[in-house]
């Protein structure tokens, strides 16, 4: 199974400034992510950065990094430029590992990449896991995905999908009164993607889908343009990413010298 991991890293962050360079146990976070990704079966791990300071930090710690444009609208656009710089095209598999996932499991990266081998009709692969709480089911920040019989994505949404028409909602009904999850449980989408390089290079030129504008989910553009997305369902949720200062402190504690992961 041949694939490359590319890690998009953007210096600007509204909730956590200079996030890729945040120190975690003596190493920048993006370096921690690259080290985890290097434990997968990837043939190469490359950081696609928007700032020379990220490139320099990676190179100091033996991580390959590319300088990409600062004006990309999304991580997928940044990956497309990185593919061009690396000469990746055609059916070559590229896995997008987010730069704020220092706890990413290497086996999950492998499973995501393998989707492109087991689903040759799909241009993209991604990951999901069962939702365990009603709160997550109702949370618009938790993206849900529903699948067809062979594990292809039918739809992604921030809404509670599938909607349990006959579920327990109390006499008043409505979202506030939902007290249980559907069976089988709904699936939470995880932002880990595998792409065929030729599609990834084409992605920035595709028109935005109407549903994408409403939901702010760029994977809906893939479906809108008739491409298929294969989904690996993991039994458990992956390690949480780092979005806030509180997340950063939680992860830092895991990397203290007296703690073992």
Mean pLDDT computed over 204-225: 95
Using the predicted structure, report yes or no on whether residue 171 has a pLDDT greater than 70: no
The 10 Å Cβ neighbour count of residue 174 is 8
pLDDT at position 164 is 79
pTM of the complete model: 0.90
CATH architecture of the domain covering 3-237: Alpha-Beta Complex (3.90)
Q: What is the rounded CA–CA span in Å between residue 31 and residue 29?
A: 5
Domain ranges for the chain: 3-237
Share of the chain above pLDDT 70, in %: 94
Phi, psi at residue 154, to the nearest 5°?
A: -95, -40
Q: List strand residue ranges (DSSP E) for the chain, in order.
A: 3-9, 23-24, 27-28, 44-49, 64-67, 93-96, 124-130, 144-147, 153-157, 187-196, 229-233
Dihedral sign for Cα 65, 70, 76, 80, please. Answer: negative
| Residue 259: per-residue pLDDT | 57
* Residue in this structure with the two tokens 């087991």, named with its chain if needed: 118
Distance CA 37, CA 53 (A): 21
The CA radius of gyration of the chain, in Å to the nearest whole number, is: 19
Establish how many alpha carbons lie within 13 A of residue 119's alpha carbon, considering only the half-sphere containing its beta carbon: 25
């Amino acid at each position: 199974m041949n694939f490359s991991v590319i890690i998009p890293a953007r210096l600007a962050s509204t909730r956590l400034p200079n996030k890729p360079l945040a120190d975690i146990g003596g190493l920048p976070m993006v370096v921690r992510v690259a080290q985890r990704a290097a434990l997968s079966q990837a043939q190469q791990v490359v950081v696609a950065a928007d700032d020379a300071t990220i490139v320099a930090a990676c190179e100091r710690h033996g991580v390959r990094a590319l300088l990409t444009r600062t004006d990309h609208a999304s991580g997928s656009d940044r990956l497309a430029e990185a593919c061009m710089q690396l000469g990746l095209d055609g059916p070559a598999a590229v896995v997008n590992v987010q730069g704020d996932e220092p706890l990413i499991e290497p086996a999950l990266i492998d499973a995501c990449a393998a989707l492109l081998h087991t689903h040759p009709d799909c241009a993209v692969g991604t990951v999901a896991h069962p939702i365990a709480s009603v709160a997550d089911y109702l949370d618009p920040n938790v993206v849900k995905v529903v699948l067809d019989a062979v594990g292809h994505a039918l739809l992604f949404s921030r809404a509670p999908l599938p909607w349990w028409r006959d579920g327990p909602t109390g006499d008043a009904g409505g979202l506030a009164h939902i007290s249980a999850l559907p069976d089988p449980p709904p699936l939470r989408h995880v932002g880990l993607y595998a792409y065929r390089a030729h599609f990834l290079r084409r992605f920035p030129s595709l028109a935005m889908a109407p549903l994408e504008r409403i939901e702010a989910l760029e994977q809906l553009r893939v479906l809108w343009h008739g491409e298929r997305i294969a989904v690996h369902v993991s039994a458990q949720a992956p390690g949480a990413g780092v979005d806030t200062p509180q997340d950063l402190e939680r992860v830092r504690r895991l990397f203290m010298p007296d703690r073992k992961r």
